């Protein structure tokens, strides 16, 4: 028997709790950063209400603080959020039977966090009649928490103006780190991630988050190219061949040494 709409909704919200724990400090620090960056209180709240994309909100606030104009901020938001296209591509088969209104609602809430939770729901269980209620439950939980934390952060920022020095921004880093780890299952992915990280650090001083954009594009190209190489010449075979040849060389050298 399929689960009821209500059970699915509650389960979706429950499954999102780990993500919420990571998002609490993240949302609060976003709220506290708003004022020092020059964003109004209403602007900060409106960003959480209507954009609802944590990492790009952080980046926007950082860019605002350095006096960058709206066009560049919007363009950066586009690049940073392009990953959501992949999430939508992965889930479109599960939602295409729903009404356009449902699909718009679910798309609005398609964050990294809800995607991770909802995708494993679809992969894990075959009874998906009311799984869109699970999806909605995850979104409602994540969204309400994000609004609450933004609002709290704005208030705390007024009370403790130096809160931005507490290092709560680590919450975002550790959440993203946790999301990256399951992707690291093959060599091209490792190469892509390591090179993107290296480029981002080397190019950090470029203006307008250009370093981030170049780093991301380079990482994607390097990952894709090494995947192609791996496929075409069979990197696995080549690697095992090299390892075997090396061990043969080592054996023969030690045999030589033994005979001397």
| Of 204 and 253, CB closest to other proteins | 204
The nearest distance, CB 113 to other proteins, in angstroms, is 9
The nearest distance, CB 59 to other proteins, in angstroms, is 8
| Of 100 and 260, CB closest to other proteins | 100
Instruction: Name every residue whose Cβ is closer than 8 Å to that of residue 36 and which is 6 or more positions away in sequence.
Output: 65, 157, 161, 164
The nearest distance, CB 63 to other proteins, in angstroms, is 10
Cα–Cα distance measured from residue 61 to residue 39, given in angstroms and rounded to the nearest whole number: 7
| Of 51 and 245, CB closest to other proteins | 51
The nearest distance, CB 6 to other proteins, in angstroms, is 24
| Of 53 and 154, CB closest to other proteins | 53
Cα–Cα distance measured from residue 168 to residue 112, given in angstroms and rounded to the nearest whole number: 19
Instruction: Mark residue 108 as left, alpha or beta (left: phi above 0; alpha: psi -120 to 50; beta: remaining).
Output: alpha
C-alpha distance from residue 31 to each of 28, 54, 70, 153, 194 (Å):
5, 11, 19, 4, 31
């Amino acid at each position: 028997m399929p689960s009821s709409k209500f059970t699915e909704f509650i389960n979706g919200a429950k499954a999102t709790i780990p993500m919420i724990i990571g998002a609490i400090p993240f949302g609060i620090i976003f709220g506290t950063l708003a004022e020092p960056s020059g964003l109004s209180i209403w602007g900060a709240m409106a960003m959480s209400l209507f954009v609802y994309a944590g990492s790009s909100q952080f980046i926007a606030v950082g860019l605002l603080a350095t006096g960058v104009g709206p066009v560049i901020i919007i363009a950066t938001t586009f690049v940073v959020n392009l990953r959501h296209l992949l999430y939508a591509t992965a889930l479109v088969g599960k939602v295409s039977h729903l009404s356009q209104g449902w699909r718009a609602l679910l798309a609005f809430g398609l964050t990294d966090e809800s995607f991770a939770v909802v995708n494993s729901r679809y992969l894990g269980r075959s009874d998906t009649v009311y799984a869109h209620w699970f999806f909605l439950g995850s979104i409602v939980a994540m969204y309400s928490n994000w609004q609450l934390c933004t609002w709290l952060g704005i208030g705390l920022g007024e009370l403790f103006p130096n809160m931005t020095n507490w290092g709560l921004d680590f919450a975002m880093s550790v959440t993203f780190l946790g999301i990256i780890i399951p992707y690291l299952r093959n060599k091209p992915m490792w190469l892509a991630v390591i090179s993107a990280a290296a480029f981002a650090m080397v190019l950090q001083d470029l203006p307008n988050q250009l370093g981030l954009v170049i780093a991301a594009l380079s990482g994607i190209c390097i990952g894709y190219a090494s995947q192609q190489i791996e496929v075409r010449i069979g990197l696995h075979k080549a690697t095992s061949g090299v390892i075997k040849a090396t061990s043969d060389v080592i054996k023969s050298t030690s045999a030589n040494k033994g005979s001397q």
